[in-house]
Amino acid sequence: MPELPEVEVVRAGLAPAVTDAVIESATVIDGRALTRHPPGASDFEARLLGRTLGGPARRGKFLWIPLAPGAPGAVPAEALVAHLGMSGQMLLRPSGAPPERHERVRLDIRHPEHGDLAVVFADQRTFGSLAIDPLQDTADARAGGYGTDDALVPAQVAHIARDPLDPGFDLRAFRRTLEHKASAIKRVLLDQTVVSGIGNIYADESLWAARIHPDTRASDLSTRAVYRLIAEVRAVLEKAVAEGGTSFDAQYVNVNGQAGYFAHSLNAYGRTGQPCARCGAPIVKVSFTNRSSHFCPHCQRPPRLTA
């Protein structure tokens, strides 16, 4: 599943092509791509026609593109929201390009500098979705997410916590939240209402880098350990973004259809039985809910059992 780095790569790739572009047509090929847009395909197509797109923004794994209001100087009232789900792709193609495999929605746009382009939403497993959603004020009056200065966030995204790369992420508030969490720290990292954008891969990588066992109770972490963990989370996410994300198959690609190569930089995830890059002990894999956790049993000491 695309996580924060993969979605950020898509956001950054879309930005120069869609910002200030006008939607000349919107075509829904498969209505399953609009599960988050209850009014359906006809409403979606009609409301996008002729709209001017703003700069893409992101919070965690959610991506949105503000739709410019009709009045000059007014703030946007709604946005085109995208969630990539398991296999969603946002692709940029030349105008008139042939249909993509698993294409669900196509937007034909005209950019003042780049001319005519197509934005294609393709999704093999159909768990991703697009929607037109109202924008609302952020609870903390800070910018809605990464890539925007507007203190606005789509209603469908408002319940999602800020991610560690968001300038509005409050490290001290995060620390205070952990003080009341008896759950394992990995489970907390995957809770999108506490901190967003961290999926299974990057949780394992960040915990390995911070030398913290995934089963450590969140409330048992010292302030120093929490700050170290978030520093490592940011470092892992930033490196993954720089390397185009993690691609194990053809389902995750950037807007140009290219795969990321962060998989070559993994130290824990997917390296079961291979030597730890730090100490040489074999990386182990254990069951974790419906996923798995990968860690070094020597560098990441298990938590002490308490009576």
Q: Residue 47 is inside which H or E element, if any?
A: helix 41-48
d(CA 203, CA 248): 17
109: phi then psi, degrees, rounded to nearest 5: -125, 160
How would residue 34 be classed by pLDDT, with cut points 50, 70 and 90? very high
Window from 5-14, 106-115, 186-195 with minimum mean pLDDT: 5-14
Residue 181 known to bind ligand: yes
Residue, of 262 and 200, whose pLDDT is higher: 200
Task: State how far the alpha carbon of 228 is from the alpha carbons of 195, 211, 235, 273, 302, in Å.
Answer: 15, 9, 11, 26, 18
Provide the 10 A C-beta neighbour count for residue 49.
12
Residue 102 known to bind ligand: yes
The structure tokens listed for 167 are 């300038």
Helix (H, G, I), strand (E, B) or coil at 110: strand
What pLDDT is attached to residue 289?
82
Residue 125 known to bind ligand: yes
Domains, the chain, with CATH or none:
4-154 (3.20.190.10), 171-295 (1.10.8.50)
Q: Residue 233 is inside which H or E element, if any?
A: helix 223-242
What pLDDT is attached to residue 261?
47
- What are the catalytic residues? 2-3, 61, 291
d(CA 241, CA 252): 13
d(CA 228, CA 211): 9
Q: What are the pLDDT digits (tens) for 70-121?
A: 666 678 899 999 999 988 899 999 999 999 999 999 999 999 999 999 999 9
